[in-house]
Amino acid sequence: MLRMESNVIDNVKVPQLDNLLKLDPYLAPYQREIKRRYHVFETMLKTLDAEEGGLEQFTLGYTHFGIHVDCTNNDIKVKEWVPAARAVFIRGDFNGWQEKQYPLRRNEFGVWEITIPALSDGSTAIKHNSAIKLLVETHDGRLLDRLCPWSRYVFRAPEANTYHGVFYNPPADQIYKFKHAQPKKKERLKIYEAHIGISSWEGKIATYDNFRQNVIPRIVKQGYNTIQLMAVMEHAYYASFGYQVTSFFAASSRFGTPEELKALIDEAHKHDLTVLLDLVHSHACKNTADGLNQFDGTNGCYFHDNERGFHNLWDSRCFNYSAREVQRFLLSNIRFWLEEYKFDGFRFDGVSSMLYHTHGIGHAFSGTYDEYFGLVTDTESFNYLQLANHISHTMFPESITIAEEVSGMPTLCRPIAEGGGGFDYRLAMAIPDVWIKLLKETKDENWHVGNITWTLINRRWSEKSIAYSESHDQALVGDKTIAHWLMDTEIYSNMTVFAPRTPVVERGLALHKLIRLLTYGLGGEGWLNFEGNEFGHPEWLDFPREGNNNSYHYARRLFYLPDDETLRYKYLNAWDRAMNDAEEKYQWLSATNTHLSRRHEDDKVVVFERGKHGLLWIFNFHSSKSFADYKVGTNRCGKYKIVLNSDSKNFDGLNRVDNNQSYFTQDTKWDGRRYSLQVYIPSRVALVLALVQ
């Protein structure tokens, strides 16, 4: 922590701190630390204003660092920060890979530059798509080939072990021109989490074009309003799921060209879909030949030059967020993806790892505030995240930021003006863990509905969460999807509509619908689904690697399953679409009227109200008991109709409840509510009722 005199901290003015303390009075004992963090953030902004011309100039690093063409004369300008180097050269196809023909000149800040004049015919000396690399002479005389950290495009030939940089300078007629306006910031996110490479049923790496043509229409049809794209930032190792980033400014070439990614995003915008990038600033790949590690021959440069610079669990490097050129690199990276590709925001990966010196390893968070405002917190990272959110939200006011954060750090999703981290949302990461643990260890007749619902509502009410019952994490090899846990091997053999449901399949279909709806309805202010889970994808996810003989068999999504009229996957797919359609109409994700009135352990019944038109949610998780004339409470009187029924034949239910049934309230208090009504609620069924008059 940065040390300050007590009177300095006491005199710090956090513009909206009173609002924060009003929302959570338990933060009052920690307001001096909140003030200190805000003061550091404010000081960083003032320093950048004084020394770098402000954030507007500072975050334009990607326009002059790296390799660029001077449009006035076709000269090529190269500019790189290589602080510990003795010498730096550029070489490639354009000069037959000669080592020291083009030396760069160093300035006092460790920045190296060169201008390569245009050829006599006026064309650039380096041609579009030429292979290029930097040659770094280290302080001890070694010559190391390095990729430009600011590369827009890098490529690995099929027979090669490492990537080479590509001089990406397409002719004007080949540069994609955006046609559609970006969507306004959405209040209720329904997120479709997707990975470009697996988005095909074929055993190969799928492309940006495939996703644009074949997957976006599915997302639109299912009723999602947001896409979260994973593994776009270039990563040398495909099986890392995109989390071992090697080139931070390069869209992965294994899926296609930058222009094809732009076309994908523009197509999404055509349908008013928000597109979020899975942004990995929490760490970087340890690769040296095609990554940032030891870029200038030392363990420092972009990273901490000591133990703090290594993430032992992830076997990766940790950024030095307080270093000026590292800030320029990462903050420019944020602006680059928002400006050049027109992404609409980010899901920040690994925020918990950033926020604590332990990286969360072996750190069982108890929830006491001392853990969040003590010495274990890495406040340099917190201040960096404040800067990142400040840039995203001030330069791009419609952008959205989501933190992958499991510790529940208070203030992380509150405005920076209150002393918070500035995120719009955090992922509700505890929810899927509870579901998977239950499915692994406990028979559903022994599920404790009180514990389940407590997990769903146990969040900071003033900080928004994205709820999900499973994401890509639960689909990875070594685990299984919820559908797979529920139906095991029968998910392969007994899903045909031509055969009666087996008890396993009947249970699995019923609970799959209930688990997803309860999480969607009660778990957060946003909803996330990983591609394929909407129809109960039968297989886990495993990328080609040595351990599976480099097979693509599990690195794909079987989208033909819900399209097959003879298979029951279509019913889960229809349920998913019905949930999204109902949310669009009744808008429960933004509702503030949630009231949980019943959690009955013997009956296994959950009842709550949330959403427009007095939306009343009734769940029966009991494995065998159905209840006739079951009394439930509500605070709105009148006539109710069913708007969602998991037992409907449209969703492969047993059709025990009449969808046309009307329910009338009685002037009788029940479960602490002013009125009550009676419903038939069969076993393993969820009903959602809406007030119609």
Number of alpha carbons in the 13 Å side-chain half-sphere of residue 271: 22
Q: Is 349 annotated as catalytic?
A: yes
Question: Which is it for strands 400-403 and 345-348: parallel, antiparallel or unpaired?
Answer: parallel
Alpha-carbon distances, residue 637 vs 585, 617, 651, 693 (angstroms):
20, 15, 29, 9
| Residue for token pair 């889960």 | 572
Helices (H), ranges, 13-157: 17-23, 31-52, 55-58
Q: Is 488 annotated as catalytic?
A: no
Phi, psi of 336 (to 5 degrees): -55, -50
Instruction: Sort 83 into a burial class: Cβ within 10 Å, 0-12 / 13-18 / 19+.
Output: middle
Q: How far apart are CA 646 and CA 655, in angstroms?
A: 9
Helix (H) or strand (E) holding 452: helix 449-457
Instruction: Sort 179 into a burial class: Cβ within 10 Å, 0-12 / 13-18 / 19+.
Output: exposed
Q: Residue 180: which of 106, 265, 120 has the closest Cα?
A: 265
Number of alpha carbons in the 13 Å side-chain half-sphere of residue 288: 13
- Report the length, in residues, of the chain: 693
Q: How far apart are CA 12 and CA 7, in angstroms?
A: 9
234, 266, 278, 349: the catalytic one is: 349
Alpha-carbon distances, residue 373 vs 60, 345, 354, 382 (angstroms):
33, 28, 14, 11
Alpha-carbon distances, residue 340 vs 52, 63, 332 (angstroms):
22, 11, 11
404, 424, 444, 542: the catalytic one is: 404
| Residue for token pair 């999480």 | 519
Tell me if 344 sits within 8 A of 400, measured CB to CB: yes
Beta bridge partners of 75: none
Eight-class DSSP state of 476:
B
Number of alpha carbons in the 13 Å side-chain half-sphere of residue 70: 15
Q: How far apart are CA 427 and CA 400, in angstroms?
A: 13
Q: Which residues are catalytic?
A: 349, 404
